[in-house]
A and B are shown apart, each in its own frame.
Chain A
Amino acid sequence: MIEREIIVSNKAGIHARPAALLVKTASKFDSDVFFSCDGTEVNAKSIMSVMMLAAAMGSAVKIKIEGSDEEEAMNALIALFESKFNEE
C-alpha cells in the first residue's frame, strides 16, 4: 500500500468535471484507490463520493492506493492533480 498527500491547486477545487477526470483515471487501474480530505475517506472510483468531498483549493487530499498497479495509479493521479485538471 502506498500513500501520498497532495494540495488541490486549481481555483475551483474538485467540482464535477475534475471529479469525473479523477474517477475515470482511478477506474483504469485494478488497484483499490481511496481519497481522504478533512478526515472523510471515500472510494476514488465512485463519482458521487469524490464529489461529496467538495475539496476546495488549498485542501490537502490524501491518496491511498493498494494493489498490483499502485505505483502507476499513483503517478497518473498525481500528474492529474498537478495539471490542475486543465483548469486555472
Chain B
Amino acid sequence: MDDVIYKSDGDNIRLVEKMRVRKFFEDLRDKMHFELIVDAGFDQRYFNQRDLHRPGLALAGFVELFTHEKIQILGNTENYYLLSLSEEDRKKSLDKVFQFPMPCIIITNSNKVLPEMKTLCQKHNVPLLVTNFSSTDAIHLISAYLDEVFAPEISMHGSMVDVYGIGMLLTGKSGIGKSEIALDLVERGHRLVADDTVKISRLSETILMARGHDTLKHFIEIRGVGILDVREMFGIRAVRLQKRLEVQVDLQLWDGKEEYERLGLDEEMVDILDVRIPSIKLPIYPGKNITVIAEAIALNLLLKIYGYDAAKEFSAKLMQEIQNKDTKSKKSNIYLERDFE
C-alpha cells in the first residue's frame, strides 16, 4: 500500500483519505526533532484525522467520546498526572486508554518516557515519539503540516502567474493564448508559477494555493515553437514554486453578442473548492494587449485591497455631479469664460 491513500470526491477533487504513520514521521522528523522510541506499527498504522488530541480525560478514566483515532499528544499535564498516580492506578489508567487503537503517541517537552508506556506501545503496536517542543508549539507545527496534507486539491487547465504580487490564474479554451500571455508577463518581470496544469489546494476557508505539477516544472509550450524552459531562459527571478490564487482571468474570443462588464461596480465571482475569488471575463481579439490589461487587473485589485475602488469612486463623483448640476455648471462656466489658456 502507498504512504498516502487518496480518494476522489467527484468533480476532479482529490482528497487524502489516510496517511501512513511512517510517512508522517519521516516528513516531520527534522522539523520536530522527533526521537523514535517505539516503531512498532509504523507501517501498518494509518490515520485520517487532521486534528490532534490530548488524552487528559481519557487517562483520568473518562473514555466516552475518546477520539483515539487522532494522533495523541502527551504534554506536561498528562505526564505529571501519570506520575502523580500510584503504580497500580497508573497501570489501570494506561490499560484503559490502550484498549483503543491509536495511530501514534507524541510526548512533548522531552519528558521522560515511562517504562510502562513503552511496553504498552510495543505490545499494542502504537508508535511512540518524543519531541523537545512544548505542547503548544508541537500542536501548532504539526497542525500546519496536517492542514496541508489533508487540503482538498483540484487540477485546473490554465496558466498561473504572480503579477505584482497578485496570484492570477489565466483560463480559457486551448489555443487561446494563455501560455503566450504568461510568457509575455514573464518578459515584463512577473513570475511564472505553472503553465498548462495548475494544482490548486484549499489551505483554509479563504485561502487557495496554486502550484505546478512536479514533472512540468517551469516548462511551457508555445505553439509553433515547442517546449521552452522559463527558469533556464529568464532565471530564478522569473519563476516561483507556489502562489496564493487571488483572481481568475477567463480569456474568451470576442463575441459581439456576449455582454462584458463595463463598470466594474459588480464583481463577478467564481467558486473554486468552495473559496470565492473574483473572476474577470476578458474578451480578446487581434491587436489587444492582454498583458498590459493583466497588469492593470492586478494593480486595480491591489488598490481595492488597500481600500480604493476606482469604479465606486467614479460612480459616487458622478452621482454628486448630477445632483449639483445646475449650480456647479454655472460656476464653472463663469470661471471658464475668463480662461484664455
A interface vs B, CB < 8 Å? 12-17, 20, 23-24, 47, 51, 54-56
Contacts and interface: CB of A to CB of B under 8 A. Distances in A.
B263 A17 contact: yes
Nearest to B315: A16
B319 interface: yes
Contact of A16 (B259, B263, B323, B325): B263
A51 B317 CA distance: 11
B305 interface: no
Contacts of B263: 16-17, 20, 47
Contacts of B303: none
Given A13-B323, A16-B311, 4 more contacts: A13-B322, A14-B322, A47-B262, A54-B322
B314 interface: yes
Q: Specify the main secondary structure of chain B where it touches its partner.
A: helix
Contact of B314 (A13, A16, A55): A16
27 contacts: A12-B319, A12-B322, A13-B322, A14-B322, A15-B315, A15-B318, A15-B322, A16-B263, A16-B265, A16-B311, A16-B314, A16-B315, A16-B318, A16-B319, A17-B265, A17-B315, A20-B262, A20-B265, A23-B262, A24-B262, A47-B262, A51-B314, A54-B318, A54-B322, A56-B322, A56-B323, A56-B325
Contacts of A24: 259, 262
B: interface residue count bin: 10 to 19
B331 to A, nearest CB: 15
B229 interface: no
Contact of B319 (A15, A47, A55): A15
A58 B3 CA distance: 73
B321 interface: yes
Nearest to B261: A20
B31 to A, nearest CB: 53
A15 B312 CA distance: 11
A54 B315 contact: no
Contacts of B325: 54, 56
A51 B262 contact: no
Contacts of B314: 16, 51
Contacts of B262: 20, 23-24, 47
> What are the nearest 5 A-B pairs in CB distance?
A16-B315, A13-B322, A56-B322, A47-B262, A54-B321
Among A16, A23, A51, A56, max chain B CB count under 10 A is at A16
A46 B314 CA distance: 16
A8 to B, nearest CB: 9
A7 to B, nearest CB: 15
Nearest to B324: A56
Contacts of A16: 263, 265, 311, 314-315, 318-319
Interface string B88-107: 00000000000000000000
Interface string B252-284: 000000010011010000000000000000000
A55 B323 CA distance: 9
Contacts of B323: 13, 56
A16 B321 CA distance: 12
A19 B172 CA distance: 29
A17 B316 CA distance: 11
